[in-house]
Amino acid sequence: MANKKISELIAASAAALTQLIEVTTDPSGTPASEKLTVAQLKTLFDTIYPANTRPAPKNIVINGDMRIAQRGTSFVSPANSEYTLDRWFVGISDGAFTVTQSTDAPNGFANSLKMECTTVPTLTGTQSVTIISRFEGQDLQFLKKGTADAESFTVSFWVKSSKTGTHILRIHDFDNSRGVSSPYTVDAVDTWEKKELTLPGDTSGVFDNDNVGSMMINFILDSGPDLKSGTLNTTWEDVVLGNLAVGQVKVPDTIGNSLSITGVQLEAGSTATDFDHRTYQEEKAACMRYFQKQKVGGDGRTFFGVGFASATTIANVLITVPVPLRAAPTIGNSTYTNFTLLAQGVAVILSTNLAANLNYSVFDGDDMIGVGLLATVASGLIWGELYALRIVGDANSYMTFDSEI
């Protein structure tokens, strides 16, 4: 029997595409299956969807359902610009907050990001309290920004706030120092509400086509007077600070007040569609492009990578990462004295934290697929000897690779 999916594709395309199919037959001559080679599949796809007409991604927000939390599920008094749940960081100019991966979520979602006030902020000037995610320029090209065909786009999300009234969603273009704000109204205290906001396309300022941060989305909880002294810019303009957050209520005006979000989706067009629920594997892999945390096994004994000694105190170690990193990462690790370099049964304890070594890293374009590390000890290594980087005796030990935008 013919493969249904292939047959449907052919029916939706030009009749000439049928000649791309290789038909295998059984001895009686009856078609037994339809199959396409990889090259033919590409030709088929390119014919049905030419490059300039291919559908835009359903949702460019990564971890919009807040279920990936490699760094942890609770962050007490995070610093300004500190990442919390994967792909989400906080802007905190004053006051103190606790950010959690909460299990309080609307139907269809398991988690939300909750930002709760523990010290009421007193904001001045251009200070603010926000929840933020950033996007690479190469992932934004479908918006056609800076052209006559610039696409409008829709941001949809679920929100639960301790304050009713006007809240502001802010979109900022780093490449051209432009932005647009959209107000939305919270109607009931501490109640999950779905919001759908359509923002106009911008015919000025093209996004760079690279792996650097070009745009960010901000959920504002509070802002200083200099961010709301003008008129809210609901169309794109060069940044005027006074127009960013006009009308924003002060969510953290009382200890215990909070804002929670989940189901965040940004898509091209003026219509909000259902949230794009990706598999856990897909979502985590997308997050790991920007941050990875490798932990030890249950017995506290794990080999991370191998390398060679280039001096009696330094080994160059290469670690292959399961998902290519966006760019060269910042390295983090737990207590370095739990790390050893092992060769021929002799273990030498590290004397300082691990550090990145780009000279021994492996790249695929801009993406890093192998991370080079400098592992330093007080003495005892043999030049040219092969060593394995190992953790012994601490099941809570870990290593992190941070390649966030």
- Residue 175, beta-bridge partner list: none
d(Cα 212, Cα 81) in Å, to the nearest integer? 17
**Residue whose entry in the numeric block shows the structure tokens 């704000």:** 181
224, 126 contact by CB (below 8 A) = yes
pTM of the model: 0.86
pLDDT tens, position by position, for the chain (405 residues)?
344 444 444 344 444 344 444 444 444 544 444 555 656 666 666 665 555 555 668 899 999 999 999 999 999 999 999 999 999 999 999 999 999 999 999 999 999 999 999 999 999 999 999 999 999 999 999 999 999 999 999 999 999 999 999 999 999 999 999 999 999 999 999 999 999 999 999 999 999 999 999 999 999 999 999 999 999 999 999 999 999 999 999 999 999 999 999 999 999 999 999 999 999 999 999 999 999 999 887 666 788 999 999 999 999 999 999 999 999 999 999 999 989 999 998 999 999 999 999 888 999 988 999 999 999 999 999 999 999 999 876 778 899 999 999
Sheet with 193-199, strands from edge to edge, namely: 74-76, 96-102, 112-119, 258-268, 153-161, 193-199
CATH number, domain 74-285, options 1.10.10.10, 2.60.120.260, 2.60.120.10, 1.10.3720.10: 2.60.120.260
45, 39 contact by CB (below 8 A) = no
Q: Which fold has domain 289-402?
A: Immunoglobulin-like (2.60.40)
Q: Domain locations in the chain?
A: 4-53, 74-285, 289-402
